Structure 1
Amino acid sequence: MLHLRLIVPADRTDEVVALVERTVGTAHLVVFTGAARNPAGDVVMCDVAREAGDELIGALRDLGIDSTGSITVENMDLTLSRHAQEAERAAPGEGADAVLWEELSEVTHEESTFSVTYVAFLALATMLAACGVMLDNAVLIVGAMAVGPEFGPLAGISTALVQRAPRLVARSLWALVGGFVVAMALTAGFAWLLDALGLFTEDMVTAERPNTGFIWHPDWMSFVVALLAGIAGTLSLTSAKSGALIGVAISVTTVPAAANAAVAFSYQDLPQTWGSSVQLMANLGGIVLAGTLTLLVQRVVWSMRRRTVPAVRRAPGVPR
């Protein structure tokens, strides 16, 4: 279930209440007259089944409530109520299959910001992966993959492409490309520093690395894994299952490939630099492609279901 808290201008409250009441899958409607001060108005609260949430939020935005008041949505982990159970049974589809496009846009927007924190996490993950590459330590590689925040911009690109939002595409691309450029430059400097300290040597780059050598040998399986990871990662975002996203983070060779490219470049090993760069681009491209196709399929399937069983009933004389 989702919990909605709305601030509504007093002259629109009846209209909003009528909308909530005719939405299949709603429960626990509460109205506080004149309770809001900034912006001034009434406070309307209700719970709605996740599978009916996107259409209700869209209808509220069509009424301009996001401009004249506010719309706040919270995920509810536990609701003990017979009315809530009846609302979920009445709502079309399954909550796990529903996509809240507004929530997805907000999440990917936040995760696609080129910020100091984002770059710091990506740089630290790349440096950690560089240590794993040089030591041929798979544990360090997995740890670096889990730390890397790059799935946020990748999901942002997919979401923006589906929603035809060029500004978000540009923002996500800047975070992705700019983040990796800075992280790889810092990692190259990190490698030079450790080489000066005698902790890294050129022999460590050219030596046989049975645990991490695959990082700079891209093949079609790398692309297949990226496709599968992109599908799983997108589904984890749309279904709010963060545990699955952790599995995605440690299944694709993005951060390790960037680290290997940076370290190899610092020792002028161009074949490894090129191979690692191809691996990185193949993984990034596969994730974006799979994420975009997954969102498109979800949008089509959910649109067909909503046309069959609309979540919002049309009031007499009100066009849809």
Structure 2
Amino acid sequence: MRLVQVLIPEGTRESVVATLDEQGIDYAIFDEVGRGDFEAMVQFPVPPSGVEPILDELTVAGVQEDAYTIVLPTETVVSRRLSGLVERFPGLRISRDELYARAQDLAPANSTFFAFLLLSTVIATTGLLLDSAATIIGAMVVAPLMGPAVAASVGTILDDRDMTARGIRLQVTGLLAAIATAAVLGWLLQQTVLIAPGLDIRAVPQVAERTSPNFLSLFLALGSGIAGAISIMRGSGSTLVGVAIAVALVPPAATSGLGIAFGLPGVAIAGAVLVIVNLLAINLSALILFYLAGFKPLDAGKYEGIRSSVASRVVTIVVAITVLSLVLGTVTLTTYQTQAFERQTEALIEQEFEAADVEGVVLVGVSVDYQPVDRLLGDEPVVDVLVGIPRDLEAPPDLAQRFDDQLTERLGQDVIVRVGFIEAQVSDGEPPSSPLGDRSATTTRPSVVRLPTH
């Protein structure tokens, strides 16, 4: 419920009161003695979704923009007479004036915005290098990116070009600053003993997750934008939603910066593409939701112009997302293909060992080194096979080549196979009790006999 307080300009008291009576609003009027421009103040309770239509009616009755209107949230309103208003104005959507005020509040001063964003980037970069999901989530609590994202969409819907421009400017410059901060921090850390000299950040799972973006990342961004719009319209959960929006933007920005610092253009580009796609998706979903919710410009005469403006902006964003989604689609497809290749390779190797059924020979493990970028660049996958073999059995000298030929024929793709042998002893049954205690009877001596490579 909202409590609305309106100063009634001189000469409009009767029309304002008549309008409130027609709308079935319970109100209280107090004489205004502070200024000569107003003759009274009226206050009345109304559901959130009723604020905007009632204020529109009061505008027609003579309450212009230069009058003072205050909308206050209320904890509790005790009255049996409000049931009719609640039925008349169902829903929880706030008025456009409240939406405008909240969007302004969520976009902090430039100094505050950049301070929190840079601190968030430092924490997120540290979390990426530490492979710590908890640290990355903690960084997202600090990131102030929800405000600019919401402000850009609200400014577009309400035809406030200054708000729109500031929201877009803060998002773009903020994320560029985040990438630069991560790059500088990554370079500085390389000059210390805090990072191993030969660290390959592509092997860090939290970094690798952002260097292979797929369509699931797009759903995260769309969901975050919709959640941000709903939280503003309903006035709930904005802090947690801000974390979701930051998760979609700051970690990939930090990943892009680390790619620059470590001289890995592939990582830098992949992170930057993910940032841009997520940024566009967040703004698109919020813009569409605000429009579908029925918000209109403060100046009703600009509504038709806003419809065409929103339509053109939506088309532009959709085209940009579609173009960039080609990258996401390519990564998604190649990821699926490389994972399918890995599963097929492991299954074929296991089938070969089961079919051979050589006593004492066991398949210890199979690993496939084949990344989406390898498929895109045409690099051959590397298959490592580790075999346990008894000491008295001679290892086949051409096993790697045989595996290579079989995999190439069955999978239709050239591969590189490496086979490693270890001496193994496998018991026939339950081990007898011994002074050594209850231990496994399987003994492995990690002595590599040979590693033929093709």
Same fold per superposition (TM over 0.5) = yes
- 2:240 maps to a residue whose letter is I
- 1:180 maps to a residue whose letter is L
1:144/1:86 CA distance change after superposition, 3 Å: same
1:67 to 65, 79, 84: 65
1:261 to 239, 256, 276: 256
CA contact (8 A) 1:8 1:68 kept: no
Does 1:95 find its partner at 2:88? no
Partner of 2:80: 82
Q: Deviation at 1:46?
A: 1.0
Does 1:224 find its partner at 2:219? yes
Partner of 1:309: none
SS of residue matched to 1:299: coil
Q: CA RMSD in A?
A: 2.5
| Structure 1, 178-187 or 258-267: larger mean CA deviation | 178-187
1:118 to 113, 118, 134: 113
CA contact (8 A) 2:149 2:167 kept: yes
CA contact (8 A) 1:65 1:71 kept: no
Structure 2 segments unaligned to the other structure (5+ residues): 296-454
For 1:55 and 1:204, the matched residues in 2 are separated by 61
Q: Deviation at 1:194?
A: 3.5
For 2:145 and 2:37, the matched residues in 1 are separated by 37
Partner of 2:307: none
Q: Deviation at 1:174?
A: 0.9
Q: Deviation at 1:162?
A: 2.9
Matches within 5 A, 1:1-320: 1-24=1-24, 26-27=25-26, 29-37=27-35, 40-62=38-60, 65=63, 67-89=65-87, 91-92=88-89, 94-96=90-92, 98-112=93-107, 115-201=110-196, 203-204=198-199, 206-242=201-237, 246-247=240-241, 249-250=243-244, 252-299=247-294
1:206/1:65 CA distance change after superposition, 3 Å: same
Identity level (%): 23
SS of residue matched to 2:205: coil
More helix by share: 1
CA contact (8 A) 2:4 2:69 kept: yes
SS of residue matched to 2:44: strand
TM-score, normalization: structure 2?
0.59
1:250/1:182 CA distance change after superposition, 3 Å: same
- 1:246 maps to a residue whose letter is L
Q: Deviation at 1:287?
A: 0.9
Q: Deviation at 1:296?
A: 2.2
Q: Which has the higher contact order (CA 8 A, sep 6+)?
A: 1
Partner of 1:318: none
Q: Deviation at 1:114?
A: 5.3
Aligned residues: 294
1:224/1:18 CA distance change after superposition, 3 Å: same
1:263/1:34 CA distance change after superposition, 3 Å: same
For 2:207 and 2:221, the matched residues in 1 are separated by 17
- 1:117 maps to a residue whose letter is T
Q: Deviation at 1:278?
A: 0.7
1:63/1:183 CA distance change after superposition, 3 Å: farther
TM-score, normalization: structure 1?
0.82
SS of residue matched to 2:6: strand
- 1:249 maps to a residue whose letter is V
SS of residue matched to 1:3: strand
CA contact (8 A) 2:49 2:91 kept: yes
For 2:174 and 2:36, the matched residues in 1 are separated by 38
Q: Deviation at 1:248?
A: 5.6
1:70/1:195 CA distance change after superposition, 3 Å: same
| Structure 1, 122-131 or 173-182: larger mean CA deviation | 173-182
| Structure index of larger Rg | 2
